[in-house]
């Protein structure tokens, strides 16, 4: 377990400067590239990262994803954003 969650549902995540996303044919996965690492994403995580645009809130991302995937909970999105913040891939405002 990590510490208490601090990412609010109203928080607005965006990719940090110097972070790129791309599709890797070798691994057949979406990946996040940042200064010292690579994150290989599953389908849901890739969808969340794709919506971290500095405009949508965590709740907004969850609503948008619910159109695509079943059983998307805002808390699950918040937890994933929290992990991306810890890896310095994403910043949040608000």
Residues of the shown chain interacting with another protein in the complex, contacts defined by CB under 8 A: 16-18, 20, 22, 24, 26-27, 31, 33-38, 88
Whichever of 37 and 54 has its CB closer to another protein, that residue is 37
Phi, psi of 62 (to 5 degrees): -60, -40
Beta 20-24 vs 29-34: how paired, if at all?
antiparallel
Q: Give 75 or 86: the residue with its C-beta nearer to another protein.
A: 86
Query: Which DSSP state fits 16?
Result: P
Contact criterion met (CB below 8 Å) for 34 and 88: yes
- Specify the residue, 41 or 61, whose C-beta has the smaller distance to another protein: 41
Q: How far is the CB of 37 from another protein (least distance, A)?
A: 8
What minimum distance in Å lies between the beta carbon of 33 and another protein?
4
Q: Which residues pair with 34 in a beta bridge?
A: 37
Give Cα 28 to chain centroid, integer Å. 19
Rounded to the nearest whole angstrom, what is the least distance from the CB of residue 69 to another protein in the complex?
26
Phi and psi, residue 61, nearest 5°: -65, -45
64 vs 83, beta carbon nearer another protein: 83
């Amino acid at each position: 377990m990590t510490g208490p969650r601090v990412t609010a549902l109203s928080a607005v995540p965006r990719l940090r400067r110097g972070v790129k996303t791309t599709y890797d044919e070798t691994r057949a996965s979406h990946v996040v590239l940042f200064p010292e690492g690579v994150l290989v994403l599953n389908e849901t995580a890739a969808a969340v990262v794709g919506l971290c645009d500095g405009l949508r809130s965590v709740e907004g991302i969850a609503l948008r994803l619910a159109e695509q995937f079943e059983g998307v909970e805002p808390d699950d999105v918040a937890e994933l954003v929290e992990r991306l913040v810890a890896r310095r891939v994403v910043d949040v405002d608000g």
